[in-house]
Amino acid sequence: MKITAVTPIPVGHERNFLFVKVDTDAGIFGIGEAGITFQEPAICGMLQTLTPLLLGEDPFRTEHLWQVMFRSGFFPLGRIACAALSAVDVALWDLKAKALGVPLYELLGGKVRDRVVCYPHVRGRTTAELVDDATRKVADGWKFVRFDPRPEDDGVTFEPAAAVRRCVEDVAAVRRAVGDEIEIIVDVHTRLDPADAISFCRQVEPFRPFFIEDPLRSENTQTYRKLAAHAHVPIAAGEQFATKWDFRQVIEEDLIDYARTDVCIAGGITETLKIAGWCETHHIPMAFHNPLGPVATAASLHLDLAISNFAVQELARPPGTVLPELFPVQVPFADGHLLPPTSPGLGIEFDETAIAKYPPVAARTPQFRRGDGGFTNW
């Protein structure tokens, strides 16, 4: 079996998604998905560079092809290029499992669990709205709720000290509303510097968050040393990291309690398995990042089913709620849990005839600003 084509498929539904189809001369194809939203044109450009390295190759050689894609340009790939590599790698694993007639998790060692607990995104412009959405999610069967520090009422102004005060009030109100049995996650979304992050973590400690996610910017992992010395709540990070090398310091120095690896950014299934194994040696559970589409959800699920150090799965878009005609069969989901697929590969179906129904949408990255007009992270 040889690879005959690598095709990027950008589509839109609420936002843009980028899928990659890998075809073979045996008539079997695999489907992958790229992370890093709003950078789809750049990722497509990188796929043009990677494709000649793949044509005519044996798709079963996933480790070899990973090394070829990552290292053939001499300069190691950056994060946008790794999103392209990740999409191809996921497609290759999907293709391999289809060719062997087994669900993908069987190639990863088989199931170690029967279902995968997930957390949704809880939204609201006010504390009351957040509480209402959180209680609805709990009533629907979710065991976790997740939200982030809110901007000002204008939706764009984000002053850290004020946002910290608001979010502490939100956490307290949600804890009162959902009770002690429901886990709370706060995604800071890299919006705080160390001083404000430390203040926030200390103030929410009485409400026992499951973890505080990405409290700091990701460019300098050294700052997590300062946070770890002063914060006494579990910390999760890693959604912006590509490859095991980005994770090196936070794993080796035990600076995080949960790894937020994104299979569609970090290097696909091939690299994510290595990161998960490394994390296991440091007793760091995996909580895979997934704000993406049906392919990312399926790929994350198969990893969740096969690794021992699993904690919880982000599920911003439950199966069936996004791109239903393009992916008429998506992975099973019920009561806040993803369930094991039984069909070969990722366990999803892709209908190319529906691509035209989902043209890419005009979109730009949301932006926050400080009160003085300065830029700050969204």
Q: d(Cα 168, Cα 87) in Å, to the nearest integer?
A: 38
Question: Please, what are the domains in the chain?
Answer: 3-102 (3.30.390.10), 106-343 (3.20.20.120)
Q: d(Cα 29, Cα 15) in Å, to the nearest integer?
A: 25
Residue owning tokens 């170690």:
112
How confident is the model at residue 14, as a pLDDT? Answer: 85
How confident is the model at residue 269, as a pLDDT? Answer: 98
What token pair was written down for 85? 């590599």
Q: d(Cα 264, Cα 316) in Å, to the nearest integer?
A: 15
How confident is the model at residue 17, as a pLDDT? Answer: 97
How confident is the model at residue 48, as a pLDDT? Answer: 97
How confident is the model at residue 125, as a pLDDT? Answer: 95
Which long-range CB contacts under 8 A does 203-209 form with residues at least 24 apart? 203/164, 203/168, 204/167, 204/168, 204/171, 204/233, 205/232, 205/233, 207/171, 207/172, 207/175, 208/175, 208/180, 208/184, 209/171, 209/183, 209/184, 209/185, 209/233, 209/234
Name residues of the chain where pLDDT drops below 50: none
Backbone angles phi, psi at 298, to 5 degrees: -65, -45
Report the side by side order of strands in the sheet with 235-237: 144-147, 183-187, 211-213, 235-237, 258-259
What token pair was written down for 263? 């299979």
Q: Are 302 and 329 in contact (CB under 8 A)?
A: no
